[in-house]
Structure 1
Amino acid sequence: MSNQSTVTEFLLLGFSDARELQIFHLMVFLGIYLAAMVGNFLIIVVIAVSNHLHTPMHFFLINLSSLDLSTISVTLPKSMAHFLLNTTAISYSGCAAQVFFFHVFGAADLALLTVMAYDHYIAICKPLYYKTIMKGTTSIHTAASAWLSCVPYSALRTGNVLHLSFSKSNILDQFFCEVPWLLKLSCSDSYFSEVGVLAFSFLLVINCFAFISMSYIQIFTMVLRIPVREKQRKAFSTCIPHLIAVSLFVSTGSFAYLKPVSNSPSALDLTASLLYSVLPPVINPVIYTMTNNDIKAAM
């Protein structure tokens, strides 16, 4: 990390420097953060204290809420501190930590959503084998694998960016340290290494999305064969929240990372970053609370 001698901090200039607008943004971010914290924490507590919700599906939902809390806590508290203290600086190590943990939790989120699709497939298509396949230890090991397997990927992603030299500028037109904008600031020739990492990331996302799609093709094929309408509705009510969560995560993330970085500050770039980093942790608790009858009854 010899490049710390040239750049020791970055300046996050994604929002206005007018004090009145900073206070407004602080209040908006605080409201969003509290909504995400309350919603996800409520789901965790309700499932934890309700014995009839101690199932693999709800265990994975606890992990998803924990990941959502972790993801939004990587970006918003630092931005709120900037608004409150009227500053824009983030240290080099702080920026590295944001990049690392954001990618750890983001990748783990996708891995867990993939595992949840498999859980739904077993529950609906192979119900007689469900308790044998998805027993308690299996659920714990699977969730732990989803968390831990993303650490090497995030280390690769972070190391590939932060070994670059940042000597020409340290201004990021974002509210947190985002990889495309860090690459834009770099004065190193990073094209081939970044293309390799992006291709690897794209391959992982495609594999997860293909696995989820195949699972749901078989699920819907099985559900449509059920003659009882009430059982069909119950099966669909189990799958729809997960499908919405997957669609929200993949669509916002793909839009943010596949969209070319603008040469000048753009409201579209800022909006894209807000959507994929803030929206899923806030919306997921609403989706699962409103559509899951078991959680609504427990609440």
Structure 2
Amino acid sequence: MSNSSSITEFLLLAFADTRELQLVHFWLFLGIYLAALLGNSLIITDIACDLHLHTPVYFFLLNLSLLDLASISITLPKAMANSLWDTGSISYPECAAQVFCFLFFNSAGYALLTVMAYDRYVAICKPLHYETLLGTRACVHMAAAAWGTGFLNALLHTDLGTAIVDYLKPLSFFSPTLDLVVSFLYSVVPPALNPLVYSMRNQELKDTLKKLILSAVSQQQ
């Protein structure tokens, strides 16, 4: 007989042991998720509807909001379901898909932030060459490169790289609670706060958003 075994599911660490705290976590995650959905959806709608915002910097910002929406939708719904139904398991295919999508969207987001930094560099340091260096075709190519980089990075590391990292991690740094806190910080906080960071500091975006809201209110009246 061959000595082999197959993995069908994984057990997830719970955020709390008591039922009351699990429900608290559910409502907390739901609030964060709805805030992220609202903030990113407003930015996407704002940029898509206003022709004055059809510029490279807002094109990249729209892509970033799409990535944030997709990224937070990969992790939080499952965490909310586990907290609400008091379950702690995930199937092997579901886990692999979640890891791949999470790495894909987050890696693409990091690449897109690099592209956005390049956009600001050209706007500040080479304003006369801005239209040449960041034309429509160039912007589309850079955005596509960011998405493609995320896909390739996710494909490489999912094929479960994650297991290598877990086995090579020093035992002295092992802490389930710390792992939960860190994973929450880098998977949930950025997608929820990015809309606030990029909208509250941008007067043009805020003005356009106010116009859209006032237009919607006037149409209802």
| Structure 1 residues 160 and 90: CA distance shift in structure 2, 3 A | closer
Residue of structure 2 equivalent to 1:265: 176
Looking at structure 2, the residues matched to 115 and 161 of structure 1 have their Cα atoms a distance apart, in angstroms, of 26
Q: CA deviation at 1:123?
A: 1.1
Q: CA deviation at 1:62?
A: 0.2
Preserved contact between residue 50 and residue 298 of structure 1 (Cα < 8 Å): yes
Preserved contact between residue 10 and residue 89 of structure 1 (Cα < 8 Å): yes
Q: CA RMSD in A?
A: 2.1
Preserved contact between residue 71 and residue 281 of structure 1 (Cα < 8 Å): yes
Query: TM-score if structure 1 supplies the norm length?
Result: 0.65
Looking at structure 1, the residues matched to 89 and 47 of structure 2 have their Cα atoms a distance apart, in angstroms, of 40
Preserved contact between residue 71 and residue 277 of structure 1 (Cα < 8 Å): yes
Query: TM-score if structure 2 supplies the norm length?
Result: 0.86
> Which consecutive segments of 4 or more residues in structure 1 shift more than 2 A?
258-266
DSSP 3-state at the match of 2:32? helix
Q: CA deviation at 1:160?
A: 5.1
Preserved contact between residue 14 and residue 88 of structure 2 (Cα < 8 Å): no
Residue of structure 1 equivalent to 2:62: 62
| Structure 1 residues 160 and 11: CA distance shift in structure 2, 3 A | closer
DSSP 3-state at the match of 1:14? coil
Preserved contact between residue 262 and residue 269 of structure 1 (Cα < 8 Å): no
Looking at structure 1, the residues matched to 146 and 161 of structure 2 have their Cα atoms a distance apart, in angstroms, of 23
| Structure 1 residues 87 and 47: CA distance shift in structure 2, 3 A | same
Residue of structure 2 equivalent to 1:109: 109
DSSP 3-state at the match of 2:10? strand
Does residue 49 of structure 2 align to residue 53 of structure 1?
no
Q: CA deviation at 1:64?
A: 0.6
Q: CA deviation at 1:259?
A: 9.3
Residue of structure 1 equivalent to 2:187: 277
Residue of structure 2 equivalent to 1:14: 14
- What amino acid maps onto 1:273 in structure 2? S
- What amino acid maps onto 1:57 in structure 2? V
Unaligned residue ranges in structure 2 (runs of 5+):
210-221
Looking at structure 2, the residues matched to 15 and 285 of structure 1 have their Cα atoms a distance apart, in angstroms, of 26
Residue of structure 2 equivalent to 1:197: none
What per-residue deviation string (whole Å, max 9, x for no partner) do you get for residues 19-60 of structure 1? 211111100000000001100110000111111111000000
Looking at structure 2, the residues matched to 110 and 263 of structure 1 have their Cα atoms a distance apart, in angstroms, of 27
What per-residue deviation string (whole Å, max 9, x for no partner) do you get for residues 167-207 of structure 1? xxxxxxxxxxxx85xx24xxxxxx5xxxxxxxxxxxxxxxx
Identity, in percent, stands at 52
